[in-house]
Amino acid sequence: MIDFLSEAQALFEYTQSMRRDFHAHPELGFQEVRTSGIVARELNSLGLEVRTGAGGTGVVALLEGSKPGPVLLIRADMDALPILEETGAPYASQNPGVMHACGHDGHTAILLTVAKMLYSHRAELGGTIKFMFQPAEEGMGGAEKMISDGILENPKVDVALGLHVWNEKPVGWIGVSNGPAMAGAEIFRIKVVGRGGHGAVPHLAVDPILASAQIVTALQGIVSRNVAPLETAVVSVCTIHAGETFNVIPPVVDMTGTIRTFDPSVRVRVLDRFNKTVHSIAEGIGCQAEIDLQKLTPATINHLGTAARVQGIANRLFPKSDVDPANYITMGSEDFAFILEKVPGCFFFIGSANPEKGLDAGHHHPKFDIDETALPRGVALMAAAAMDILKI
Ligand SMILES: [Zn+2]
Ligand SMILES: [Zn+2]
């Protein structure tokens, strides 16, 4: 029996040094040139077959087991965010205004370590592992780019795994959902067009601010009145911009926000109500509304069999109390969903917060940082799951 946790611990220094190096040199989506260069160098040094420039700045490597068998894809994302880091960590970003504030530095370091570990066990593997280092997860379509670049073909992928370090939960916690894991996300833009005029003679104008205020309020009724209480949806208006001064009714209001759902039928219903609500309120007040709806990601839905397998391995690897017995679900979204639309697989979460060390800022926060003891736990679970799927 392989002791995955001990092997991952033995490689911790490597994982940590990689993670800190990526953290200090963050790169935005599709600009991960330095990062993907290091990834390719590390994979090459193992003797793997490596392809760079996949879907932009992505890297793909193949590890052949000792016998034919299924093809398992394991994915890490490499991109950082346009945030000015405020952690004060010794390994803080040296690229001002760009920051690994979601933990993708950790994912890249984990997957490099998993590759190292599985390479040393390749004689015990049947099948092929395809390592996918993806650019631009943060709303820029990196996974879709790699899919259209052929990541799921040649050889054809049978099952896929991915993970996220997770500061919503303390280090030690492991979350695997058997079914829906993360929400599907849409971005919306609403432009409410009225007719500007003097603030003192509003009857001569058509006020888009009044219409917008009523739209924002009415949109809150969709989740409470059109979605069943046991179903899930979110409608959030997150920006609203209009006007320049106190005595001018502006001609236009711009709003943006996001809609999150799991169930496709709930999604259709919410989008339908959203469209009708915005248009009818705007028109009722004499304005015109223009809506631009963009699908960001589908819901991330884990394959039941694969998720149960990962859950079982987590229970063997870690104390029972570490593994969340419930299906952990979050309204965040993840473009790994595009892969899970095409092949069965599992996306799981590794708790990474540690309030006692002050490492508990949320994802995308300028003070975001993880407890690095989460890294070997992610390595061990990912490597163990891969070995279990491809064992001879
Ligand atoms: Zn993120
Ligand atoms: Zn992320």
Question: Residue 363 CA: which ligand is closest?
Answer: 1
Query: Known catalytic residue: 79?
Result: yes
Report the separation in Å between the CA atom of 282 and the middle of ligand 1, taken as the mean of its atom positions. Answer: 34
Residue-wise burial string across 190-223, b where 16 or more C-beta atoms lie within 10 A, e elsewhere: bbbbbebbeeeeeeebbbbbbbbbbbbebbeebb
Report the separation in Å between the CA atom of 364 and the middle of ligand 1, taken as the mean of its atom positions. Answer: 6
Say what the pLDDT of residue 392 is: 74
Helical (H) or strand (E) element with 239: strand 233-241
Contact 101, 108 (CB under 8 A): no
Report the separation in Å between the CA atom of 102 and the middle of ligand 1, taken as the mean of its atom positions. Answer: 5
Catalytic pick among 27, 42, 79, 85: 79
Say what the pLDDT of residue 1 is: 78
Say what the pLDDT of residue 285 is: 97
72 class by beta-carbon count within 10 Å (0-12 exposed, 13-18 middle, 19+ buried): buried
CA neighbours closer than 13 Å in the CB half-sphere of residue 115: 32
- pLDDT digits (tens), the chain, 392 positions: 789 999 999 999 999 999 999 999 999 999 999 999 999 999 999 999 999 999 999 999 999 999 999 999 999 999 999 999 999 999 999 999 999 999 999 999 999 999 999 999 999 999 999 999 999 999 899 999 999 999 999 999 999 999 999 999 999 999 999 999 999 999 999 999 999 999 999 999 999 999 999 999 999 999 999 999 999 999 999 999 999 999 999 999 999 999 999 998 999 999 999 999 999 999 999 999 999 999 999 999 999 999 999 999 999 999 999 999 999 999 999 999 999 999 999 999 999 999 999 999 999 999 999 999 999 999 999 999 999 999 87
- Residue 187, token pair as written in the block: 């971005």
Query: Known catalytic residue: 137?
Result: yes
Say what the pLDDT of residue 236 is: 97
Say what the pLDDT of residue 245 is: 97
Catalytic pick among 137, 138, 158, 186: 137
Report the separation in Å between the CA atom of 2 and the middle of ligand 1, taken as the mean of its atom positions. Answer: 33
CA neighbours closer than 13 Å in the CB half-sphere of residue 296: 23
Say how far apart CA 272 and CA 249 lie, in whole Å.
30
Report the separation in Å between the CA atom of 301 and the middle of ligand 1, taken as the mean of its atom positions. Answer: 18
Angle at 387 between CA 381 and CA 392, to 5 degrees: 160
Residue-wise burial string across 155-165, b where 16 or more C-beta atoms lie within 10 A, e elsewhere: eebbbbbbbbb
Report the separation in Å between the CA atom of 1 and the middle of ligand 2, taken as the mean of its atom positions. Answer: 33
Strand locations in 20-109 (E) = 49-54, 58-64, 67-77
Say what the pLDDT of residue 105 is: 98
Question: Residue 101 CA: which ligand is closest?
Answer: 1
